[in-house]
Amino acid sequence: MTFGSLFSGIGGIDLGLERAGMTCKWQVEMDDFCQEILTKHWPDVPKHKDIKEVRNLPYVDLIAGGFPCQDVSVAGKQAGIQKETRSGLWFEFARIIRMVRPEYILVENVSGLLNNGMGVVLGELAQIGYDAEWQSIQACWFGAPHRRERIFIIAYSNSQRIKGVRQEKVCRQPFFSWCEGIRRVEGFRNRSDIPFPLIRRINDGVRNRVDNLGNAVVPQVAEYIGKAIINSNQCIQGTHDKTVRP
């Protein structure tokens, strides 16, 4: 499966999806520092800067990204998803979806989205022609020493063409039905007792400026979700390997 990355940041989602077995075809990221990181790790992947100027992207099976959270986060002014706000770049995300028409979409954002903008996101996806489901996932479920709770939305086409060709939707049962059992999955440490840090910007061995990129996604989470999508897609196509566990 192939994917395109919007609001790529330093490539947390991209790295996770690649670990799951997907191939990145293009990336869109405005920040110069993040562009340097992406160029280092994905030198051969075409890159674009301003999402508002992006046109004619090639088809991919999945579009993934976390649009700006400043206006939906409980830490901000909570202006919501408006076209004049930074979080309003969600509408550019939706424009790219309309242009590319992938089979799957992965959207990431802060937990504040649930109470401030989720209806806008789901409504836009439905209008374009996608069904969606979502789950709140904590990074500590995957062994990270912090909670970093994020909302992950998986959307998939509900077009009649897809339904006509692929009647068997048994493997497209809720992608997140397995999320509640993540803490018990073999190989992952249960770190649900980790509290939010009380001291910020301490010397934790992380290079300068990385602490400013606090919206980075833990790759292990994206990898786990990517495997679930691949597993579902294989099942729909009749090539599902039952030994592959999302």
For the entire predicted model, the pTM comes to 0.80
Residue 212 scores a pLDDT above 70: no
For 122, the 3-state DSSP assignment is helix
**What are 114-135's pLDDT values in tens digits?**
888 888 899 999 999 999 988 8
Place of tokens 């497209």: 172
Cβ atoms within 10 Å of 72's Cβ, excluding its own: 29
Place of tokens 């991209």: 14
Q: How far is CA 49 from the centre of its chain?
A: 19
**What are 29-79's pLDDT values in tens digits?**
999 999 999 999 999 999 999 999 999 999 999 999 998 887 787 776 777
148 pLDDT tier (thresholds 50, 70, 90) = confident
Residue 246 lies in a domain: no
The per-residue pLDDT for 86 is: 84
What does the pLDDT average to over 3-22? 96
| Domain coverage including residue 114 | 2-236
Residue 19 scores a pLDDT above 80: yes
Which region among 85-94, 201-210, 231-240 has the lowest average model confidence (pLDDT)?
Answer: 201-210
Domain holding 41: CATH number?
3.40.50.150
8 Å CB contact between 24 and 5: yes
179 pLDDT tier (thresholds 50, 70, 90) = low
Distance CA 228, CA 233 (A): 9
Query: Which of the residues 69, 140, 179, 235 is marked catalytic?
Result: 69
Distance CA 110, CA 232 (A): 25
Residue 27 lies in a domain: yes
Rounded to the nearest integer, the mean pLDDT of the chain is 78
Residue 104 lies in a domain: yes
What does the pLDDT average to over 3-29? 96
154 pLDDT tier (thresholds 50, 70, 90) = very high
Query: Residue 71 has which token pair?
Result: 């206006």
Residue 189 scores a pLDDT above 90: no
Residue 80 lies in a domain: yes
**More confident: 46 or 189:** 46
Residue 199 lies in a domain: yes
Beta bridge partners of 110: 150
| Catalytic-residue membership of 235 | no
pLDDT more than 70, % of the chain: 72
Residue 136 lies in a domain: yes
Residue 245 lies in a domain: no
Residue 243 lies in a domain: no
What domain count does the chain have? 1
